[in-house]
A and B are shown apart, each in its own frame.
Chain A
Amino acid sequence: MPIEILMPALSPTMEEGNLAKWLKKEGDTVSAGDVIAEIETDKATMEVEAVDEGTLGKILIAEGAEGVKVNTPIAVLLEEGESADDIGKAGAAKPDGKAEQGASEPADEEKPAAASGDAVADMDERRVPAEGKVHPEPKKVDVASDPDIPDGTEMVPTTVREALRDAMAEEMRRDEDVLVMGEEVAEYQGAYKITQGLLQEFGARRVVDTPITEHGFAGVGVGAAMAGLKPIVEFMTFNFAMQAIDQIVNSAAKTLYMSGGQMGAPIVFRGPNGAAARVAAQHSQCYAAWYSHIPGLKVVQPYTAADAKGLLKAAIRDPNPVMFLENEILYGQTFDVPKLDDFVLPIGKARIHKQGTDATIVSFGIGMTYAVKAAEELAGEGIDVEVIDLRTIRPLDLDTVIESVKKTNRLVTVEEGFPQSSVGDHIASQIMQRAFDWLDAPVVTICGKDVPMPYAANLEKLALPNVAEVIQAVKAVSYKA
């Protein structure tokens, strides 16, 4: 059967074009790949190449024709043994003379979507489900609770630094595929001594000093993870991970989805995040909100040593890419860590740090230091605050926050990051949408100030949140200011 040659689309948005020139005439022999015509749009001129071979039987659209709609038959190609008499038999537009899926038909639920001239309508259909159609929703994932700590378990005072090192060492003992790589992690024993002793125990094969090459070694880590290893990639600080953010977002976070679930990246990116002290703008930034924006990542930011240990162990075992955000100032702080053989905590579960009834403070990481002190001082004034440590920023345990708000009806969030599009902003918007009727006051978000971090000691102090601000906010939402 003769084959119709159709007006091609040069881009998904092209709806029509001009047939500028025929380079073959009726009766010419055409081979696959031959340029048979030129078409033009307001943007470009393009050559139309033949896909099939045969004889150009009839030109349907003359040279110079303007506004030819995409997928209009422009010529008929005769195959071997066919003559001009067969032209009337030319089938509808079919790339192989078989498929009946008309390319110009608008897409509907049953038929595969082909080029629809009405791209806008098509987009609307995608975005706004028609009546009666069920818009898909994400599956609700059940997150386990923290494991019970048996009575009589010895609690060992441990710094966050030691807890992180212990977590890595335990997981490296447990699984040969776990390795740690980064700048100064091996011979130097860690720029902040988090990897102290690991080289001695596990050797240079598994504790790998990298050159100062964040973009490159993040990519090498993701590639190794795609091949099945479980790398822990240490950034000396997360400020330097800006160099590597493409590999984190585009390669680590998206590959599982883009591969239809075939291939992911079981990798942990960890290191100190946020402001340290007196290191100014380029070295003082919190990335919790940045990474929490990305589907395909998990984002963890612990406060206590126990959480640091239990969650880092969980992060290393997690088959997904996990951003593990630490804080330099917390490294030296000591907390009780239960002495258990295998202490693993669930990612995605907030922890109620202190129970209370009058107002809720939600925070995470170093933000908890302000929250905890504010709660202590407020207790002295007769305001009983509930303090929630999110621990995981993504997936966010909103249920725990909502339950608390139902009890206290007041919410303050605390973090060191910038205010616009902050973690607190997201929580405030979610609480407004999901627990509006339970609120007795607007949610107040305490953040770092909307300025690059200054160097001068007095300005730096002003740029960060402080306990007085948190106290004031709790009083404000309690109408006790």
Chain B
Amino acid sequence: MTAAPKRTKRSSSKPKSESGLAPAMSTPKPANFSKQDELDAYRGMLLIRRFEEKAGQLYGMGFIGGFCHLYIGQEAVVTGLKMAMEDGDQMITAYRDHGHMLAMEMSPRGVMAELTGRRGGYSKGKGGSMHMFSKEKNFYGGHGIVGAQVSLGTGLAFANRYRDTKAVSLTFFGDGAANQGQVYESFNMASLWKLPVIYVIENNRYAMGTSVARSSAETDFSHRGISFKIPGIQVDGMDVRAVRSAGEMALAHCRDGKGPIILEMMTYRYRGHSMSDPAKYRSKDEVQKMRSEHDPIEQVKARLVEKKWADEDELKAIDKQVRDIVADAAEFAQTDPEPDVSELYTDILI
């Protein structure tokens, strides 16, 4: 069993409200997973992992251009939260977004074809890796400007409140974006108006090449809402069970009309910031240690085997299934034509 990758002095389970401003809140225990839960989580995370590996490969071959930010290592965060979400809940994030889209059940073909800039992509090839959306699946992007999605996600929550729906906006951003000013403008309004928004801070320790310690005066991001009376907890973002239980608690908090909440997901990206990042700012040992001791997929796999809920053959079959889906998406993304030239001038105005 692996321990939560703690990087702050405080225990994540300790209620924090020394200032008396934010309501005290404790990190819930990891959810009890049934066999089906474990299998679903395994399959969901593996799909993201294999998809991203393939995207990296296609990038290396020149099929994918521009920037390409892979989600490898962080799979448990979206997977666990999606397991807690209900129909109607929305998701919005920045540009490391492929995993989020797959978790929101967007088609791997449509996502991969967008990465290769083809007409069958979610944005007809006009958005690319960083800019994809699916109204049908309640995925609101896919945004390229660090931090901008936080105000937008707060706006989704504003609309939910305005229409008095029970939907919650899950607004994702990284430890880097957590230092942007508009994040705090959004925190203030969300708390003032009791908007149903979960701020999911994916703390993968590095804002591109700058570590949290070098960029942030307060490195415990779950505390970043204190002066706005927004409660926050730290969650082991490498353990899909811990993520799901934190998500369930946060969703209930929002649906009860208690306003926004912060979930700081302690996670790690194995790859560089983008494909062209050699990641010289951290040691290979650090990466290797996370991969071998905290890998979110291996954790589930170990439990499945230990509890005899799946044998090697069954796991291999899942792996094969996932590989086939990814191969099919890659094949489609390479053979689908580029957008028709007439698309240059479409979708600018309605």
Find out whether the CB atom of A263 lies under 8 angstroms from the CB atom of B278: no
A399-422 CB contacts (< 8 Å) to partner B: none
* A333 close to chain B: CB less than 8 A: no
* A32 close to chain B: CB less than 8 A: yes
Answer whether A256 and B152 are a contact pair too, CB < 8 Å, given A51-B56, A95-B58, A261-B124.
Answer: no
Q: How far is the CA of A348 from the CA of B157 in the complex (A)?
A: 33
Q: Which residues of A contact B341 (CB under 8 A)?
A: 134-136
* B53 close to chain A: CB less than 8 A: yes
Answer whether A71 and B154 are a contact pair too, CB < 8 Å, given A101-B334, A255-B141, A258-B126.
Answer: no
* A180 close to chain B: CB less than 8 A: no
Find out whether the CB atom of A224 lies under 8 angstroms from the CB atom of B330: no
B189: contacting residue among A51, A70, A216, CB under 8 A: A216
Find out whether the CB atom of A220 lies under 8 angstroms from the CB atom of B151: yes
* B300 close to chain A: CB less than 8 A: no
B334: contacting residue among A45, A99, A137, A263, CB under 8 A: A99
Count, chain B residues at interface, CB 8 A: 83
Of A99, A112, A216, A220, chain B has the most CB atoms within 10 Å of the CB of A220
Binary contact readout A108-124 vs B (1 if CB under 8 angstroms, 0 otherwise): 00001111100000000
Find out whether the CB atom of A11 lies under 8 angstroms from the CB atom of B276: yes
Residue of B nearest to A7 (CB): B60
B125-151 CB contacts (< 8 Å) to partner A: 125-127, 131-135, 140-145, 148, 150-151
Q: How far is the CA of A48 from the CA of B57 in the complex (A)?
A: 9
B133: contacting residue among A12, A93, A115, A255, CB under 8 A: A255
Find out whether the CB atom of B54 lies under 8 angstroms from the CB atom of A95: yes
Answer whether A112 and B334 are a contact pair too, CB < 8 Å, given A220-B189, A222-B155, A262-B134.
Answer: yes
Find out whether the CB atom of B345 lies under 8 angstroms from the CB atom of A6: no
B155: contacting residue among A98, A221, A255, CB under 8 A: A221
Answer whether A263 and B62 are a contact pair too, CB < 8 Å, given A216-B182, A228-B159, A250-B148.
Answer: no
Binary contact readout A233-257 vs B (1 if CB under 8 angstroms, 0 otherwise): 0000000000000110011000111
Find out whether the CB atom of B335 lies under 8 angstroms from the CB atom of A44: no
* B342 close to chain A: CB less than 8 A: yes
Q: Which residues of B contact A9 (CB under 8 A)?
A: 59-62
Q: How far is the CA of A46 from the CA of B280 in the complex (A)?
A: 9
Q: How far is the CA of A225 from the CA of B162 in the complex (A)?
A: 12
- Minimal beta-carbon separation of A466 from chain B (angstroms): 36
* B181 close to chain A: CB less than 8 A: yes
Q: Which residues of B contact A96 (CB under 8 A)?
A: 327, 330-331
Of B62, B72, B134, B189, chain A has the most CB atoms within 10 Å of the CB of B62
Q: How far is the CA of A402 from the CA of B104 in the complex (A)?
A: 51
A217: contacting residue among B58, B185, B334, B346, CB under 8 A: B185
Find out whether the CB atom of A215 lies under 8 angstroms from the CB atom of B185: yes
- Number of A-B residue pairs with CB-CB distance less than 8 Å in the complex they form: 236
Q: Which residues of A contact B151 (CB under 8 A)?
A: 215-220, 222-223, 247
Find out whether the CB atom of A256 lies under 8 angstroms from the CB atom of B186: no
* A210 close to chain B: CB less than 8 A: yes
Q: Which of B114-122, B214-222, B250-258, B261-269 sits within the interface?
A: B114-122
Find out whether the CB atom of A247 lies under 8 angstroms from the CB atom of B347: no
Q: How far is the CA of A8 from the CA of B271 in the complex (A)?
A: 15
* B23 close to chain A: CB less than 8 A: no
Instruction: Please give the residue numbers on chain B whose beta carbons come within 8 Å of chain A beta carbons, in ascending order.
Output: 50, 53-54, 56-63, 65-66, 72, 90, 92, 116-118, 121-127, 131-135, 140-145, 148, 150-160, 162-163, 181-182, 185-186, 188-189, 192, 270, 272, 275-278, 280, 291, 327, 330-331, 334-338, 341-342, 344-350
Instruction: Please give the residue numbers on chain A whose beta carbons come within 8 Å of chain B beta carbons, in ascending order.
Output: 6, 8-12, 32-33, 44-46, 48-49, 51, 70-71, 93, 95-96, 98-99, 101, 103, 112-116, 134-139, 179, 205, 210-211, 213, 215-229, 246-247, 250-251, 255-264, 295-296, 298, 319-320
Task: Supply 26 A–B pairs (Cβ within 8 Å), ascending by A.
Answer: A10-B275, A12-B66, A33-B291, A44-B276, A95-B54, A95-B61, A95-B63, A99-B330, A99-B331, A101-B335, A103-B63, A112-B335, A138-B348, A211-B192, A213-B185, A213-B189, A219-B151, A219-B154, A220-B158, A222-B152, A224-B156, A229-B163, A247-B148, A251-B145, A259-B127, A260-B127
